[in-house]
Structure 1
Amino acid sequence: MPKHLLEKAKTLEPLHPNKSTGLFGGESSGILNWNDIAYPHWYKIYKRLIGNYWQADEVNMSGDVRQFSSLTEAEKEAYLRIIGLLSTLDGPQTRTALLLSLYATDVSVQSIMAVIAQQEAVHNESYSYVLSSVVSLDEQNESFQLGRKDPALLKRNKHLIEQYNSFVEEPSMENILKTMVYTSLLEGMFFYSGFAFFYHLARNNKMVGTSTMISYINRDELEHGRFIAELFRATLAENPVFNTKTFTDWVYTHVEKSVDLEMEWSTYVLTDINGIDLDEMAGYIKYRANKMLRMMGLSEIYPEYTENPMKWIRAYVDNFDGTKTDFFEQKSRQYTKTSDLNGFDDL
């Protein structure tokens, strides 16, 4: 594959057309008219994204503050480790979205990526907010150190880190495409064993505030994953030289590696959690991988997992409309805004 390095898009190029001639490596004036863009339906994606606006400290954590001490030791440890995982994944996403936008020569992509970057920043803030609600500053800091120190987490993130850094060092079209593959997997699969843990707690009437927060993050990630998969397909269609067996084999190989690492991580972090079936979780991870492959225009690689084996999760994440009803409790899961930080006025 050619290794031509892309230049960052110019801010304004008045001699170029407003409608971009290419998503990356094309020409565009830098002026955005949403009624004159190369992929008109992306305006709907932009509108859905900005319609998802929320803030971390509007979620009432007072119940979780009272309840955390009553969790089992295994649940507490998994809670802190998974928050550490999620923060490790979401932190770099703000920068990665911005880096992709710097090389995008379609201004609509730049704008959508700006919204995605902002939402990823909110997600990372929410992990700090959640931990500040339930544990001391020392314990918070320890959880956020896991991404740097925990051998299982470092192994889990190794390939993702390598690809993201390769894009920084060599901003080629190939690395942009590969980074989008990993971003699609991150948004659509890597988070999900962690999300499932918090939904499992809420299913058992535990830490419902945290679960509500995760639901809002999950809703955003579904939109991010959908757009990145579309951007990947469109970029590949515009650059058919990369649409080769060698490249698709690379994608399938790295999806399989990612699935294996995710299953290994979920076993490591959830093995002592009562009520979570690790075989079912492995099936769910494969189901999510299949889904992301389909969204990227590729074939499924786990034909036995075309249906969600953890259907109870649908109560928390499918068809999210902002007033989600908990399947088991039949209570509104729309977040409750509080006047003071973390809802401590309700204690």
Structure 2
Amino acid sequence: MSNFLLEKAKTLEPINPNRATALFGGKSSGILNWNDIEYPHWYKTYKRLLGNFWQSDEINMSSDVKQFPNLSEKEQETYLKVISLLATLDSSQTRTILLTSLYATDPSVQSILAVIAQQEAVHNESYSYILSSVVSLEKQNQAFEIGRTDPILRKRNQLLMEQYNQFVEEATIESILKTLVYSTLLEGLFFYSGFAFFYNLSRQNKMVGTSTMISYINRDELEHGRFICELIRAVLAEHPEYNTKSFTDWVYNQFQEAVDLEIEWSQYVLKDVEGIDLEEMAGFIKYRANKMLRMIGLSEIYLEHLQNPMKWIRVYVDNFDGTKTDFFEQKSRSYTKVSELNGFDEL
């Protein structure tokens, strides 16, 4: 198996064809013609991503500002820890997706990854906006320290960080594939204990502004995960020498380890949170892992969790299907700019 180091794609190379000869490690002029790409349906992906555009400071947080001081001490503590987790993940994802795009010789992939990286940056900025709405600057800064000081959270992120940092040091087809696999875990699994916490608050009519923000992030992540799974399958089709039992076993092992770490984290951060059943949460994590494995093209490994065991969360996370009838419309919480309402700036 050849595992040569990849060079960053040239910005413009007119001697090469416009249609790339490969997704990574191929030849391309660098000129993007959406009507002449190897995977034409990715234009629809690009358009869906653009259609999801939103900005954090256009979401009304006024009720959250009033409600946060009335949350229990446990709820406030968990709120800050979960925000720190999400910020840690999206900070690393912004950089990793951007780096991946620099090695994409297919300019359509580079453009899609550029949009994804931009959206991850918006997500990360939204966490700062959320905290600035509800706590002092000192507490905001303390919350962001949790991502690098909390031992359980560091353990939870260790394997992800090792793979992402290895890709920085050595860009090969194999390291790109492994980084993309970890991206699917990040987008499709690692966020969900945190998402569940905010959705649980929302169903109790608490911190609905925060939950609305998380819903938009969730919608983006589902779209990101879908594309990254398709990209993994396409890279493996172009490089069948990597489509081996060894690589498949590696993927299964990473998923199992990620599930165990996510369950450990959820039991730590969500313990004693009213309204969340930790056993149900563990089942939901396994259900999400099965779903992501199917999207990559592999078989489920948690056969007792083929269905979502956390019924109440379905309205928040299972209704994003690319249509106009989704959670936001059903709950009458459509995206509205606070500049047109009595937003945070007017408090």
TM over 0.5: yes
**TM-score, length of structure 1 as denominator length:** 0.96
Provide the C-alpha distance between the structure 2 equivalents of 1:166 and 1:192, rounded to a whole number of angstroms: 25
**Deviation (angstroms), 1:326:** 6.9
Higher mean displacement: 216-225 or 298-307: 298-307
CA contact (8 A) 1:283 1:305 kept: yes
Instruction: State the partner residue of 2:22.
Output: 22
1:278-302 CA-to-partner distances (Å, cap 9, x unmatched) read 0000000000001111000111110
**Deviation (angstroms), 1:325:** 5.0
Provide the C-alpha distance between the structure 1 equivalents of 2:157 and 2:324, rounded to a whole number of angstroms: 31
Provide the C-alpha distance between the structure 2 equivalents of 1:342 and 1:230, rounded to a whole number of angstroms: 42
Alignment of 1:1-347 (within 5 A): 1-320=1-320, 324-325=326-327, 331-339=331-339, 343-344=343-344, 347=347
- Ranges in structure 2 where 5+ consecutive residues have no aligned partner: none
Provide the C-alpha distance between the structure 2 equivalents of 1:159 and 1:341, rounded to a whole number of angstroms: 44
**TM-score, length of structure 2 as denominator length:** 0.96
Closer, same or farther in 2 for the Cα pair 1:342/1:280, shift >3 Å?
farther
Aligned Cα RMSD in Å? 1.7
Higher mean displacement: 14-23 or 221-230: 14-23
Closer, same or farther in 2 for the Cα pair 1:345/1:239, shift >3 Å?
closer
Provide the C-alpha distance between the structure 2 equivalents of 1:340 and 1:57, rounded to a whole number of angstroms: 12
Provide the C-alpha distance between the structure 1 equivalents of 2:177 and 2:310, rounded to a whole number of angstroms: 31
CA contact (8 A) 1:101 1:109 kept: yes
Provide the C-alpha distance between the structure 2 equivalents of 1:333 and 1:247, rounded to a whole number of angstroms: 43
CA contact (8 A) 2:59 2:338 kept: yes
CA contact (8 A) 2:64 2:134 kept: yes
Closer, same or farther in 2 for the Cα pair 1:324/1:40, shift >3 Å?
closer
Provide the C-alpha distance between the structure 1 equivalents of 2:246 and 2:319, rounded to a whole number of angstroms: 36
CA contact (8 A) 1:89 1:186 kept: yes
> What one-letter code is carried by the residue in structure 2 that aligns with 1:20?
A
CA contact (8 A) 1:59 1:342 kept: no
1:224-262 CA-to-partner distances (Å, cap 9, x unmatched) read 000000000000110011111111111111110000000
Size of the aligned set, in residue pairs, is 345
CA contact (8 A) 1:202 1:208 kept: yes
**Deviation (angstroms), 1:324:** 4.8
**Deviation (angstroms), 1:173:** 0.8
CA contact (8 A) 1:215 1:316 kept: yes
* SS of residue in 2 equivalent to 1:339: helix
**Deviation (angstroms), 1:86:** 0.1
**Deviation (angstroms), 1:344:** 3.1
CA contact (8 A) 2:315 2:327 kept: yes
> What one-letter code is carried by the residue in structure 2 that aligns with 1:43?
Y
Closer, same or farther in 2 for the Cα pair 1:92/1:52, shift >3 Å?
same
CA contact (8 A) 2:23 2:106 kept: yes
* SS of residue in 2 equivalent to 1:268: helix
CA contact (8 A) 1:324 1:332 kept: no
CA contact (8 A) 1:78 1:269 kept: yes
1:177-234 CA-to-partner distances (Å, cap 9, x unmatched) read 0000000110011101110110000001000000000000000000000000000000
**Deviation (angstroms), 1:14:** 0.8
Provide the C-alpha distance between the structure 2 equivalents of 1:150 and 1:341, rounded to a whole number of angstroms: 38
Closer, same or farther in 2 for the Cα pair 1:331/1:181, shift >3 Å?
closer
- Ranges in structure 1 where 5+ consecutive residues have no aligned partner: none
> What one-letter code is carried by the residue in structure 2 that aligns with 1:220?
D
**Deviation (angstroms), 1:272:** 1.4
Provide the C-alpha distance between the structure 2 equivalents of 1:285 and 1:151, rounded to a whole number of angstroms: 21
